[in-house]
Chains A and B, each alone.
Chain A
């Protein structure tokens, strides 16, 4: 009786020790949900590749706090309801320590209540300002907002002494949200909108709307959108012989836009992330080495970089630094450390988060670029 009792105690001790041993070597689990397929795949695909690349690098260097990192990924296909289901699974079934993901604003906004309820730190990769406004305890984001883009354009207009602007936007989510920010911010910069036209993102001709704009006394044209529509708008402006300065949003900061709009793209200005013009930055720019290193590594493996992959880099690195500083994966501690992120140099800019600002980027994160001879040139 006694012997079996002792044996039980012995076995129980071994079991506990065994559990402890497993615990020590248990990997840090980072959860992610991205839009790798579907219409927003060009955003989610580089994000996933970047996350995998960065985590592989970190693991080669020994992981974080002596623990390996494991990535748990689900593809939402751009469906916000799926996003919520996957986040529930990440939290309850996969027991992840932190979530870095949410390619589109729709996907990110859909899961906010859930991560708040379950108290899991979440770093979103999407653009909409509503993700961090109002500030929520467990939610952070790393991508530039549409408001910043609008503000950057208005700053440039003010510098050029232009104050009457015509706005033309598409009917997508990004377009509408951008339009809202432009309308909201314009009075603050003393800018009057003399036209507010819209088009369908699949339209092939926008000359009707632009003819109306031509009849106004606008001094510049702002177009918010992504995909082929802004390229058609840019071409149509040239075709109608409108000689006004044209501003596009960061949504077209890709080579495709220049290819599609061709000659008409010459002189078009837009706010773009530094990653697009990394080589042109002065050597004193603290971002330059980070940008070039990321660009080089990504391009060696996967082809041309995009700012979206850059967002994933920023998100995972901020999470990694916070886990390192917290000395473990205690969720509350990690959350506090993310909020304390300051002076972190990422691809999107220099992050200085506070309890009121869960993004921490300022307008310097955007560079105003102009298209000259089919290439981006910084114009500030």
Chain B
């Protein structure tokens, strides 16, 4: 029984970390621009699909992952410049509608480019499970956990310690005063 609880804990924390990372993106965008980004899920999908495509094209896995992150960030930037920025000062509902539109658009483009089926991407360091007191843990889970901890602490440091981060927070509290 204890063994099972331990396994549920390991699985739960891994899956939870993935959601935490998605949530981090949500929170950042909302804090910086007051936009509730309904296309957040599509950006997660876009990052994964780009990585799969680049990896499939022969790039090493690490490089494919980094390039996919940058490309997805670029798409995010374009979305901000072309759709959110022109609607500056619009109501929350308007920006929500814009992001929903962006979500449908991204999904459409991706299913045209790479189809609608699920595709596999290999784990970073193999699929051999690590045994931990009866529970098993995948090396990939460690990457996920490490990545989540690192990104959350980096974001925190950025917002509280750097001038740019503080400026970002100030803007979101009161853009007129900032």
Complex formed: what's the CA distance from A365 to B8 in Å?
41
CB distance from A379 to the nearest CB of B (A): 24
Question: By the criterion CB–CB under 8 Å, are B3 and A215 in contact?
Answer: yes
Q: Which chain A residues (200-256) contact chain B, with CB distance < 8 Å? A: 205, 207-208, 211-212, 214-215, 228, 231, 238-241, 256
Is B11's CB under 8 angstroms from A205's CB? yes
Contact call A264/B118, Cβ cutoff below 8 A: no
| Interface hits, B86-131 → A, CB 8 Å | 117-120, 122, 127, 129, 131
Which residues on A sit within 8 Å (CB–CB) of B138?
A: 239
Q: Does A259 contact B (CB under 8 A)?
A: yes
Contacting residues, chain B, for A238 (C-beta < 8 A) = 127, 129
Taken together as a complex, chains A and B put the C-alpha atoms of A211 and B4 apart, in Å, by: 7
How many A residues are at the interface, by size bracket? 10 to 19
Contact at B118–A228, with CB atoms within 8 Å?
A: yes
Which residue of the partner chain A has the closest CB to B5?
A211
Within the complex, the shortest CB–CB distance from B6 to chain A, in Å, comes to 10
| Complex contacts, B129 vs chain A, CB 8 Å | 238-241
Instruction: Say yes or no: B127 contacts A207, CB within 8 Å.
Output: no
Let me know if B69 is at the binding interface, CB within 8 A.
Answer: no
A239-B15 Cα distance, complex, nearest whole Å: 14
Number of A-B pairs, beta carbon distance below 8 Å: 40
Question: Do residues B127 and A263 form an inter-chain contact, with CB atoms below 8 A?
Answer: yes
**Is there contact, CB below 8 Å, between B11 and A264?**
no
For B4, what are the chain A residues with a Cβ–Cβ distance below 8 Å? 211-212, 215
A177 vs chain B, min Cβ distance (A):
23
Interchain nearest-CB distance for A219 vs B (Å):
19
Main secondary structure of the interface of A (DSSP, over half): helix
A residues in contact with B7, CB < 8 Å:
207, 211, 214, 240
A260 within 8 Å of B by Cβ?
yes
A210 to chain B, nearest CB (A): 9
Whether the Cβ atoms of A259 and B136 lie closer than 8 Å is no
Determine if B11 and A241 form an interchain contact, defined as CB atoms under 8 angstroms apart: no
Considering only CB atoms, which chain A residue lies closest to B138 in the complex?
Answer: A239
* CB-contact partner of A208 in B11, B120, B131, B136, under 8 A: B11
A260 near B11 (CB under 8 angstroms)? Answer: no
Q: Is the CB of A211 within 8 A of B8?
A: yes
Alpha-carbon distance A239/B7, docked complex (angstroms): 12
Cα(A71)–Cα(B11), bound, Å: 53
Q: Could you tell me if B120 and A260 are in contact, using CB atoms closer than 8 angstroms?
A: yes
Instruction: Tell me which residues from 1 to 28 in chain B have a Cβ below 8 Å from any Cβ of chain A.
Output: 1, 3-4, 7-8, 11, 15
Are A259 and B120 within 8 A (Cβ)?
yes
Question: Please, could you name 10 A-B residue pairs with CB atoms under 8 Å apart, sorted by A?
Answer: A205-B11, A215-B4, A231-B118, A239-B127, A239-B138, A240-B7, A259-B120, A260-B119, A262-B122, A262-B127
Closest 8 CB pairs of A and B: A228-B118, A241-B136, A241-B129, A211-B7, A207-B11, A240-B136, A239-B138, A260-B120
